[in-house]
């Protein structure tokens, strides 16, 4: 008779790379009062947990009783020691009792599984929502400096492991302890001499089994890393952007080869995983089979020596109990590691829950409607801004910026890349916090206003339009969930996109694809504008909204932007001069300061930085629009990315030419 399951195949056998797990646990942050906070998470379900604990103890105790009944079956019912015929009446009772115990054990197991699963998953769900909600409150800067994969890992892997704390850690420790104690007591009651033999041999079996598990766990880790690499390759190359990149550079075969190479590595690891530890397993199987065999041998000598306490029922019952002892012992040997792993898991979760948002509402914050100034008035007073993670000796992004945008005004910002223009827009709705000075919205410092109230009054159209993989209708209603179809159509007409949507086969129910890739750049921007129009904010922020568009699309989108900006306070970052000329005020930003302010005409007349930028743009435009009546000369020494010398254009010439010739000159921003 075998003394247990095959090597490594025992249910409940969880191979763990203990060294790797301990390293991961050591990297977990230190959280004060961690135990108290973990208990608090489970407190709402304390009665369910209490019932679960009772069921675990009952289930572990029941599991030890059948072997004792087996002893009675052999010694009293089947083979009575007095040599009489089998006692069928007793046999019936014992068999019924055994079946009843099996049914009871199964029922207890089902209820226990349901309770642990329910409690574990409810705590997991509560924690996941709590963490997600907390992350929503974090400032924009947190997400710009934190990898998305790290955040996803906290939400999916760490929070997802919480349910296992109850099912694998708590119930495992409790159940294994009861099983080991009950089994040892049962073995002693059956025969104390055989118990000594079994206990002496058991440590060798446990040690070998642990060694097998660790080897397999390490290989399993390598296999998982290889699978992650395969997944990464798939995400990179089969996404819309990835497939477009590979096709544009004709690298499909290269990507296929890269995937095939990693797949070969994956196959190798899978085979290695299947074959790993087979020698160890053979040893485990030999030991597991040897323990009962040795017990049989010792029993033979005891019986041969005239000891009548050793019977067939005793031997069968003892080996049955002994076979149940291996896995609980291995589980108890991992108690310390399991507790450390659970603590590390919760520590990583609480580390994020303990993050304090850098931007939060003041205790006495008010809504924008209660602000003293007119709605739509924006004022910067000597604003200084430095990114939190920037080095102390680096120049501040903004240095003493001051301006006022009156309700309904269009205020534009131009300047070289990295000057700080986008930062001005982000400070307005308090997506970032000013390091010094004050930003006023409707006459009140934004730090004394509810941030949600500010955002409700601001619409943002950025250069990089984000659309969900959903229908046009669903993307539009993100701004106003209760919007009617008539309101959607009106917003799209104002954004000059309704006629385009109508031509789609499914109209407003057309799925735009991942990040809106089924639409052109101009179409995406106009849907984004329609989405802002549906929100109908008094303040509009335009962050290079036409920079990535071609000339025709830019003009169509600009018309939609002009319509959207009508009657609203508009702050815009200029990309093309054609979007700046009509602004009420143009601020030229350089190195974090406003160095020039005025209208298009006055700034050109000053001959400063704005005039220089305008001249550069006009020169670029003339090159692009040059007549090609004569065939171009062959200049083998020139490169396509280095244009020939452009004619010198003065600010006076730019002013004289006027808006009509300032088609599409370009200068970039940060």
Along the chain (670 residues), what's the average pLDDT of each consecutive run of 10 residues?
A: 37 53 68 82 87 87 83 82 80 91 90 86 86 84 75 75 72 81 84 80 68 65 70 73 70 82 82 67 68 80 69 82 76 70 80 83 89 91 85 82 92 86 89 91 92 89 81 89 89 86 88 78 84 87 71 69 80 76 88 89 87 75 46 40 42 43 39
pTM across the whole model? 0.67
Residue 577: the pLDDT is 67
**589 exposure class (CB count in 10 Å sphere: 0-12, 13-18, 19+):** buried
Cβ neighbours of 69 (radius 10 Å): 18
- C-alpha dist (Å) from residue 147 to 151, 152, 566: 7, 9, 39
Please write the tens of the pLDDT for every residue from 380-398: 999 999 887 777 777 888 9
Helix axis angle for 46-62 and 88-136, nearest 10°, is 150
Phi and psi, residue 440, nearest 5°: -110, 135
Residue 469 corresponds to which tokens in the numbers above?
């993989």
- C-alpha dist (Å) from residue 516 to 129, 464, 477, 499, 527: 28, 11, 15, 18, 10
Residue 37: the pLDDT is 84
C-alpha to C-alpha distance for 122 and 110, rounded to whole angstroms? 18
DSSP letters, 350-401, are: HHHHTPPPSS---TT-B-GGG-SS-TT-EEEEEEEE--TTS-TTSPPSEEEE
Please write the tens of the pLDDT for every residue from 245-299: 676 667 788 888 888 888 888 888 777 766 765 666 666 667 667 777 788 888 8
- For residue 385, the cross-strand partners are 398
Residue 120: the pLDDT is 82
3-state helix, strand, coil in the chain (%, to 5): 60, 10, 30
Residue 517: the pLDDT is 74
Residue 440: the pLDDT is 94
Residue 28: the pLDDT is 66
C-alpha to C-alpha distance for 354 and 370, rounded to whole angstroms? 32
What number of residues does the chain have? Answer: 670
Cβ neighbours of 158 (radius 10 Å): 21
Q: Burial letters for 30-61: b for 16+ Cβ neighbours within 10 Å, e otherwise?
A: ebeebeebbeebbeebeebbeebbebbbebbe
Given a contact cutoff of 8 angstroms between Cβ atoms, the answer to whether 581 and 660 are in contact is no
Given a contact cutoff of 8 angstroms between Cβ atoms, the answer to whether 461 and 379 are in contact is no
Given a contact cutoff of 8 angstroms between Cβ atoms, the answer to whether 620 and 646 are in contact is yes
Residue 427: the pLDDT is 92
Helix axis angle for 171-190 and 192-238, nearest 10°, is 150
Secondary structure (3-state) at 208: helix
CA 320 to chain centre: 47
C-alpha to C-alpha distance for 494 and 563, rounded to whole angstroms? 7
Cβ neighbours of 606 (radius 10 Å): 14
Phi and psi, residue 469, nearest 5°: -75, 75
Comparing CA positions, the residue from 147, 77, 69 lying closest to residue 104 is 69
C-alpha to C-alpha distance for 567 and 368, rounded to whole angstroms? 19
Question: What DSSP element (H or E) covers 476?
Answer: helix 472-476
Sequence-distant (≥ 6) Cβ neighbours of residue 288 within 8 angstroms:
2, 3, 4, 5, 7, 205, 323, 326
Residue 428 corresponds to which tokens in the numbers above?
């307005």
C-alpha to C-alpha distance for 309 and 307, rounded to whole angstroms? 6
DSSP letters, 483-496, are: --HHHHHHHHHHTT
DSSP letters, 75-126, are: IIIIS-TT-----HHHHHHHHHHHHHHHHHHHHHHHHHHHHHHHHHHHHHHH
- For residue 436, the cross-strand partners are 384
Residue with tokens 């509009």: 540
C-alpha to C-alpha distance for 239 and 248, rounded to whole angstroms? 14
Give the sheet arrangement for strand 444-445, strand by strand: 398-405, 378-385, 436-441, 444-445
């Amino acid at each position: 008779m075998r003394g247990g399951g095959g090597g490594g195949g025992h249910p409940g056998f969880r191979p763990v790379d203990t060294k790797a797990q301990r390293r991961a646990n050591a990297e977990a942050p230190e959280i004060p009062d961690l135990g108290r906070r973990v208990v608090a998470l489970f407190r709402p379900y304390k009665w369910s947990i209490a019932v679960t604990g009772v069921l675990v103890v009952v289930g572990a105790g029941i599991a030890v009783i059948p072997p004792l009944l087996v002893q009675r079956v052999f010694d009293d019912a089947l083979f009575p020691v007095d040599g009489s015929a089998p006692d069928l009446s007793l046999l019936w009772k014992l068999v019924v009792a055994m079946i009843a115990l099996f049914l009871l054990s199964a029922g207890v197991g089902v209820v226990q599984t349901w309770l642990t699963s329910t409690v574990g998953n409810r705590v997991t769900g509560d924690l996941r929502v709590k963490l997600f909600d907390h992350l929503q409150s974090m400032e924009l800067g947190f997400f710009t400096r934190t990898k998305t994969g790290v955040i996803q890992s906290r939400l999916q892997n760490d929070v997802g492991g919480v349910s296992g704390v109850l099912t694998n850690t708590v119930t495992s420790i409790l159940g294994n302890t009861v099983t080991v104690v009950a089994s040892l007591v049962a073995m002693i009651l059956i025969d104390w001499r055989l118990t000594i033999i079994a206990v002496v041999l058991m440590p060798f079996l446990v040690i070998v089994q642990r060694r097998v598990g660790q080897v397999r766990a390490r290989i399993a880790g390598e296999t998982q890393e290889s699978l992650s690499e395969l997944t990464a390759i798939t995400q990179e190359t089969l996404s819309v952007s990835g497939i477009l990149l590979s096709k544009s550079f004709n690298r499909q075969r290269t990507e296929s080869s890269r995937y095939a190479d990693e797949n070969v590595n994956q196959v190798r690891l899978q085979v290695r995983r299947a074959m790993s530890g087979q020698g160890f397993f053979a040893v485990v199987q030999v030991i597991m089979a040897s323990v009962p065999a040795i017990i049989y041998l010792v029993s033979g000598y005891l019986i041969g020596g005239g000891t009548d306490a050793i019977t067939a029922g005793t031997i069968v019952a003892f080996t049955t109990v002994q076979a149940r002892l291996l896995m609980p012992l291995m589980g108890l040997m991992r108690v310390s590691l399991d507790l450390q792993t659970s603590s590390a898991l919760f520590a990583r979760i609480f580390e994020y829950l303990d993050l304090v948002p850098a931007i939060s509402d003041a205790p006495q914050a008010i809504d924008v409607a209660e602000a003293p100034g007119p709605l739509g008035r924006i004022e910067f007073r000597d604003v200084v801004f430095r990114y939190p993670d920037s080095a102390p000796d680096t120049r501040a992004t903004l240095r003493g910026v001051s301006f006022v945008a009156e309700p309904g005004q269009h205020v534009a910002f131009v300047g070289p890349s990295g000057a700080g223009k986008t930062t001005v827009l982000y400070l307005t709705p308090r997506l970032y916090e000013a390091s010094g000075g004050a930003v006023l919205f409707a006459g009140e410092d934004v730090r004394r206003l509810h941030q949600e109230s500010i955002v409700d009054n601001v619409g943002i159209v950025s250069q990089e339009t984000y659309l969900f993989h959903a229908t046009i209708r669903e993307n539009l209603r993100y701004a106003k969930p209760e919007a009617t179809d008539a309101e959607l159509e009106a917003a799209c007409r104002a954004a000059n996109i309704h006629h385009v949507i109508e031509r789609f086969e499914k109209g407003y129910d057309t799925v735009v694809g991942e990040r809106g890739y089924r639409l052109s750049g101009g179409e995406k921007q106009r849907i984004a504008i329609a989405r802002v129009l549906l929100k109908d904010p008094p303040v509009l922020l335009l962050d290079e909204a036409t920079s990535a568009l071609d000339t025709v699309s830019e003009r169509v989108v600009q018309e939609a932007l002009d319509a959207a900006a009508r009657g609203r306070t508009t702050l815009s970052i200029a990309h093309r001069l054609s979007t700046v000329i009509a602004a009420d005020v143009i601020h030229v930003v350089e190195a974090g300061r406003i160095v020039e302010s005025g209208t298009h005409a006055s700034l050109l007349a000053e001959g400063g930085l704005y005039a220089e930028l305008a001249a550069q743009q006009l020169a670029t435009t003339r090159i692009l629009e040059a007549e090609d009546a004569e065939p171009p000369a062959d200049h083998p020494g020139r490169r396509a990315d280095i244009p020939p010398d452009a004619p010198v254009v003065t600010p006076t010439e730019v002013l004289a030419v006027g808006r009509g010739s300032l088609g599409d000159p370009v200068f970039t921003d940060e």
